[in-house]
Every structure is written in structure tokens, then in C-alpha cells.
Structure 1
Amino acid sequence: MNYRFLFAWVLMACMYTGVKANPSQEDGQSQVAPPSLKIGYVDVGYIFGQLPEAIKNGEELQTFQEQLKNQIQLKANELERKFSDYQKQVDTFTEAQQKQKQAELNALHQSFRTLEQQMPVDIEKKYQAVIEPIHQKIKQVIHKIAKEQGYAFVLAKDTPGGPIVFFAQPAFDLSELVLEQLKAMAPKEMEPPVVGPKVQTPAQSSTRSAKTVKKK
């Protein structure tokens, strides 16, 4: 089933503000128009670009990725350098020395391969630690708003598979409301301690003046 088409169809159907009552009467009573569904959508990418916590954690994840890449590059450079040195000096080595150098190169190459294979695993763990909790907070806030304000559907504007909402009136956009509540949930940072000389109080000033002895 094409869920993207289904969601788009539901969105367009739910934008209709109501259904007019049928003028024909049945059993002496006019048909009652069914209530319209209340629907909204959220731009998660926009929220991540505006939420300080998400920006900070996103930068932390990016820094972590760069550190892993640098470690792998350093290991690759070391392997290349040692292999080049081995090729230049191989004719001067005894058979035992050649076997020892080859074992060292194999161990270094295995270490390099291990780093390469472990990198995606480490990045996924870091993502789960710093990004996934924000996704969960966004979901919690969306559920809270939907429940309090009676929304039947809240759709994601964009997904990894592509856009779900191709068009909607701005009045259906709940992104700013979600962002506002997320910012209110963020813990306030502690003010840094004051650095520098303490301000002298009037009492201290007068005490020092009293102790001052005038020279005749």
C-alpha cells in the first residue's frame, strides 16, 4: 500500500471544514453533518535547526564523527608509511626479520580494518545517545498538543522516504508550537561565577579609613 498517497489523501480530505447537511429528510429528521477532523503537521527538520539542544547535540555528533575519521586516517597513514619503508628495506632483512615485519604489517592492517568496521557502530551508539532522546521529546510534545487541542492527525512534513505533506495551509503547521514547548522544557544553564576583584562595601571602606593614621 502506498502510505504516502494515503496520508496525502487524508490530509486533503481533512482540510474540508465540514459537510453540509442533506436537505432531504429521513424519518422526519434532517441528517446531521459529521464533525470535521482536526489535523496538523510538523517540520521536524525545522525544529532541529532552531532548538538549541538539538543544535548542540548535532554538533557533538558531528565532532565525534570527525574524530573517528581522523583516527582511521592516521592509522591508514601509518600503515602506508610502514609498508613503504618495508619495501625499501626488504632486501636488507634476513628471512626472520622479513617474517617479523610482515607480521607487524598484518597486525597494523587488521587494526585499521577493525577501526573501519567499528566506525558505523560507534556513530549509531552516539546517535542513540544524543539525537534519539530529542526525537522522543518531540514525539511526546506532539502527543501532548494533539491530546490537549483535539487533533485527530499530526503528520510529518518530511520523512527519510520523502515528503508526506506536499501542501498545507500555514494554519495547520504546529512546528512553532512544538518548538516553543521544547524550549520551555530545556534545563536552564547555571550562571558562571563572577571573576575579578570583589566590590568593596561601604562598611569595609569606612573601617579601613578609621584604621588609617595621619602623619603629622
Structure 2
Amino acid sequence: MNYRFLFAWVLMASMYTGVKAHPPKEDDQSQAVPPSLKIGYVNVAYIFEQLPEAIKNNQDFQTFQKQLSNNLRLKASELEKKYSDYQKQVDTFTEAQQKQKQAELSELHQSLRTLEQQMPAEIEKKYKVVIQPIHHKIKQVIDKIAKEQSYSFVLAKDTEAGPVVLFAQPGFDLSELVLEKLKTMAPKEIEPPVVGPKTQTPAQPSTRSAKAVKKK
């Protein structure tokens, strides 16, 4: 007997039986196909340029930074002027006066250094008060839109490190939708109260007094 032929026949039969016994399931085929992804992107810088609340808060933040810079510059100018005056008049001072002037210059210099060291912390503190809440609102709106419209990913078009989205069709841009929702969330401005006395209605002439004049 040809055992090689018999062995090959048995092997083929067992393979065929194994395939028939475990047919591919429809669920397995569906799981093998990856679901379609819905992706959008948002231009946060554009939203900050268009949202009134963000514009106002950003102006406050920029003004605060300028004030700190101006204070630092004034301190530096004051120190420079006092040191220049001291250099010009040092020969006319007594030893006690020189020590007093040097102490004043040292104190002013230390004040300048302290102000310079505190600037980053003060700027960060102001940022958390006026700018960070806007970013938090934007994030909340993006999360809400993503859940309502079944977005898989929402990317930022630009970041501090550079652009994240190098190219995308305009139809994927959610910036306007996010901006409109943020505008509806903006706090309404309260009208200031009227200052001063209320306008009084001019008094009508008394009919009684007029009749009395006619009788006379």
C-alpha cells in the first residue's frame, strides 16, 4: 500500500473538515473593518480674536504686563540717576553721608531685583485669572460639540510649539461653531444705574387759582 498517498489524503481530509467546522463569523469580519473616523480642528487664535470676552480679557492682560514693565523701567531709571548723582557728588560727601547714600543705592537695587524676580509669578497669576478661564470655556464647548456630533478627534490648528494641522479641508473647521456657542455663553453686561435726580414732570397750573382770578 502506498502509505504516502494515504497520509496525504488523510491530511487533506482533516484540513477540509477543520475549515468546515470553524467557518468565519460575520461578527469577526465586521470587527476586522475599522470604523470610520470623524475628525475636526479648531483655530483657537481665531476664536480669541473674535470673541468679545476674550478680546476684553486679553486687553486687560496686556495692560497689566505693560504696567509691570513700566514700573520696572522706572525703578531702573531711578537707580541709574541716583547712582550717577552719587558719582558726581561723592567727593563732597562726608564718610557718614557716603555710607548713607550707598545704603540707599543698595536698598533701591535690591527693590529692583525683587520686582524683577516677582514679575513672572505676577504675570502667571494674572493669566490664570483672565485668560485661562477662556481656554477652559473653549475646551468645554469643543467637548460638547464632539460628543453631540460624534467626532473621534478635534485637533488644534496652531499651538505654541507650531502648527498641528498642516492641511485640512474647510469643512473640517469647527472654529465658527465653537465661536457661536461661546458667544451665547457670554455674560450679559448690566446697564449702569442712572445717576442724578429723576426728570420731574412740569407742574400743571391750578384751575382753581385761575377761576379765583377771573372772579376778582
Decide: shared fold, TM above 0.5.
yes
Give, in whole Å, the separation in 2 of the partners of 1:27 and 1:98: 97
- Output the amino acid matched with 1:139: K
Q: Which amino acid in structure 2 is aligned with residue 100 of structure 1?
A: Q
Are positions 1:58 and 2:58 aligned together? Answer: yes
3-state secondary structure, aligned to 1:209: coil
> 2:124 maps to which residue?
124
Match of residue 97 from structure 1? 97
- One-letter amino acid of the counterpart of residue 90, structure 1: V
Q: How far has the Cα of 1:192 moved from its partner?
A: 2.9
Alignment TM-score, normalising by the size of structure 1: 0.78
Post-superposition offset of 1:155? 0.3
User: Matched residues in 2 for 1:180 and 1:91: separation?
Assistant: 70
**Aligned equivalent of 1:138:** 138
Q: Tell me how large the CA RMSD over aligned residues is.
A: 2.4
Q: CA deviation at 1:195?
A: 5.9
Q: Deviations over 1:80-120 (max 9, x none)?
A: 11111111111111111111111110111111111111111
Once the two structures are superposed, what CA deviation does each residue of 1:59-97 show, in whole Å capped at 9, x if it has no partner? 001100111111111111111111111111111111111
Matched, 1:209 2:205: yes
Alignment deviations for residues 114-162 of structure 1 (CA, whole Å, 9 cap, x no partner): 1111111111111111101111111111111111111000000001111
Aligned counterparts of 1:212 and 1:192: Cα–Cα separation in 2: 43
1:39 partnered with 2:39: yes
Give the ranges of 4+ consecutive aligned residues of structure 1 lying more than 4 Å apart after TM superposition: 26-34, 194-200
When the two structures are aligned, how many residues end up with a matched partner? 187
SS state of the match for residue 193, structure 1? coil
Partners of 1:148 and 1:186 lie apart in 2 by 21
1:135-174 correspondence to structure 2 within 5 Å: 135-174=135-174
1:169 Cα deviation after fit: 1.0
Q: Secondary structure at the match of 1:154?
A: strand
Q: CA deviation at 1:199?
A: 5.8
Counterpart residue type for residue 205 of structure 2: S
In structure 2, the residue matched to 1:9 is none
Q: Which runs of 5+ in 2 are unaligned?
A: 1-22
| TM-score under structure 2 length normalisation | 0.78
Segment drifting more, 75-84 vs 185-194: 185-194
Name the SS for the 1:208 alignment partner.
coil
- Structure holding more helix per residue: 2
Identical-residue share of aligned pairs (%): 71
5+ long unaligned stretches in structure 1: 1-25
User: Aligned with 1:182: secondary structure?
Assistant: helix
Distance in 1 of aligned mates of 2:108 and 2:65: 22
Alpha-carbon distance between aligned partners in 2 of 1:39 and 1:117, rounded to the nearest angstrom: 44
When residues 28 and 152 of structure 1 are mapped into structure 2, their CA distance, relative to the original with a 3 A threshold, is closer
Cα distance, 1:29 vs structure 2: 6.3
Deviations 1:11-51 (A, max 9, x none): xxxxxxxxxxxxxxx85969555431111000000001111
Structure 2 CA distance for aligned equivalents of residues 211 and 48 of structure 1: 65
